[in-house]
Every structure is written in C-alpha cells, then in structure tokens.
C-alpha cells in the first residue's frame, strides 16, 4: 500500500538538508514524477531522515556500512537516484 499524500509531503519536506551533497541526492530522489513508496519504505525513509546529515551522507556514500537491514532497500534507492 503506497504512503498517503500527507505522509509523502511530510517526508519530502524533511528531505531538505543542510549539506549540499545530501540535498542533491534527495532532490534527484524526489524529482518528478517522484518515487512510489510503500509504508515500509516510508518508515525506512523517515528513520534515515531522522539521522544527522553527516551520518546519512556517510551511509548514502558507502563510507560506513549499514547496520540496519530494514534501511537497505531505501539506501539502494537513494544511491541510485
């Protein structure tokens, strides 16, 4: 089941970051028409967006290994963006 529009917009708003590199990754991820994300992916994205910018960038850039298997699918999507 896809994430509802309200939650989708909340995630998109939380994707605005202070680090240019991270901002660029997230802008490409949300570029029109925008990704379809289900509830589990929405939870994973919310957990990633709750991280400090530097920690999230390290995960996206593969500088540190991902210790949470629940985040792996969303990290793959972010890296592909």
Three-state secondary structure along the chain?
Answer: CECCHHHHHHHHHHCCCCCHHHHHHHHHHHCCCCCCCEHHHHHHHHHHHCCCHHHHHHHHCCCCCCCCHHHHHHHHHHHHC
Residue 74: give its domain's CATH number.
1.10.150.250
Task: Give the pLDDT confidence score for residue 51 in this predicted structure.
Answer: 97
Percent of the chain with pLDDT over 70: 100
Range of the domain at 44: 5-80
pLDDT digits (tens, 9 = 90+) for 10-24: 999 999 999 999 999
The pTM score is 0.92
Task: Give the pLDDT confidence score for residue 50 in this predicted structure.
Answer: 97
Residue 64: pLDDT over 90: yes
Number of domains in the chain: 1
pLDDT digits (tens, 9 = 90+) for 30-48: 998 888 899 999 999 999 9
């Amino acid at each position: 089941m896809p994430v509802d529009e309200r939650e989708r917009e909340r995630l998109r708003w939380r994707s605005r970051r202070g680090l240019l590199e991270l901002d660029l990754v997230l802008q490409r991820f949300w570029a029109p028409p925008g990704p379809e994300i289900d509830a589990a992916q929405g939870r994973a994205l919310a957990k990633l967006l709750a991280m400090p910018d530097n920690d999230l960038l390290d995960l996206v850039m593969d500088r540190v290994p991902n210790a949470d298997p629940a985040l792996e699918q969303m990290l793959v999507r972010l890296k592909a963006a």
